[in-house]
Amino acid sequence: MKKLIKNLSFEELQNFVLDNSQPKFRAEQIFKELYLNRADDFNSITTIPKFFRDELNSEFEINSFTDYKTQNSKDGTIKFLFQLRDGQRIESVLIPDDRKKQRYTLCVSSQVGCTLNCTFCATGKLGFKRNLETSEIIDQMLFAEKITSVKLSNLVFMGMGEPTYNLANVIKAIKIITNTKVQLLSPKRITISTVGVIKKIRELADSGLKVKLAISLHATSDIIRQQLMPYTERVTLRAIGDAIEYYYRKTKLDITFEYILLPGINDTDSDVNRLARFTKRVPSKVNIIPYHSIDFVEGITVTYREPTKVEINTFYEKLKNESVNVFLRTSSGKDIDAACGQLAYSQRNS
């Protein structure tokens, strides 16, 4: 199987060009053709000599996806099912901003499946297959824009998988996307979400990327969090708090806390008080996300129920009264199993 050229950083592409006795500027020509002109065939890059196009053809492939399907929600959300070269599949979700026209966020995956097995998430029920390559991360963005003819406003690593478990490839992809020679997105338009992998939060802070960080919190006590998210048996909320303070000191970027609302489990008055205290450690905001049923995944027993609008609004107002910077996340794409926690290879409608 040929290598994927979009696995190469700009510097690695330069080295390949020089190793093949080509002038250094060829790397920038190829880079811009791939990411600005969206070339999907080396033969179409007529700015470089034919013999060098032949060399590229012999070593590399451009696209990491062999097929795709789309599902369209009544609210404008689009879910993509991408097939990889080894037959594995991943999902991405394009979400239009209902407040601002012509603004689109793409929720991208970083792994095939997930190792974490969070009890409220469909992806975790699939198990873990492998990390995505750099090209497979980037192509989610490029394919989504090509298929829909829209320009993305934001990129969020909140799809399938734990991004910090594939941090090297995630960082490499972001550096390519934000490279000033193509500047597909600004780093400030990119968010990495994590359950709270302490070492990796600090590594990301030290990377110099200055992308936004979102913490999948979902509980205000270690005991409840461990029940909801088995991973958290190995990390405490205190440790997460220390890590986000480190991240904020390094980046000066506000932290986002994601909080899936599970009625009767994490919506008590005590949760309101603890959440308010925790989020004031650094400048931050809280996104309240209604739990979305994952009963469409075969072989699982659903133990949670979706909150009512009254329950959501009550929790929201209590946090507002505690001076928390809080927002309600919409359930975009729920009718096509594309809402938060529902990505699972389009099992229902594939």
Residue-wise burial string across 241-267, b where 16 or more C-beta atoms lie within 10 A, e elsewhere: bebbebbbebbebebbbbbbbbbebbb
Q: What is the pLDDT of residue 294?
A: 72
DSSP annotation of 207: T
Long-range CB pairs of 46-50, under 8 A, 24+ apart, other chains included:
48/22
Query: Rounded to an integer, what distance in angstroms lies between the CA atom of residue 60 and that of residue 336?
Result: 35
Q: What is the pLDDT of residue 233?
A: 75
Q: What is the pLDDT of residue 304?
A: 87
Q: What is the pLDDT of residue 331?
A: 65
Smallest CA-to-CA distance from 33 within 65, 62, 12 is with: 62
Smallest CA-to-CA distance from 221 within 209, 229, 210, 213 is with: 229
Average pLDDT by consecutive 10-residue portion of the chain (350 residues)?
Answer: 97 97 97 97 95 96 97 91 96 86 92 90 83 98 96 96 97 98 96 96 96 97 93 88 98 97 96 97 96 69 85 97 93 54 46
Domain 3-61 has CATH 1.10.150.530: yes
Q: What is the pLDDT of residue 100?
A: 66
Q: What is the pLDDT of residue 341?
A: 46
Domain ranges of the chain: 3-61, 65-336
Domains 3-61 and 65-336 share a fold: no
Determine contact, residues 129/112, Cβ cutoff 8 Å: yes
DSSP annotation of 31: H
Q: What is the pLDDT of residue 183?
A: 92
Q: Which residue has the tokens 């390094």?
A: 250
Residues labelled catalytic = 91, 340
Which CATH class for the 65-336 domain?
alpha beta
Q: What is the pLDDT of residue 123?
A: 78
Structure tokens, 138: 């980037």
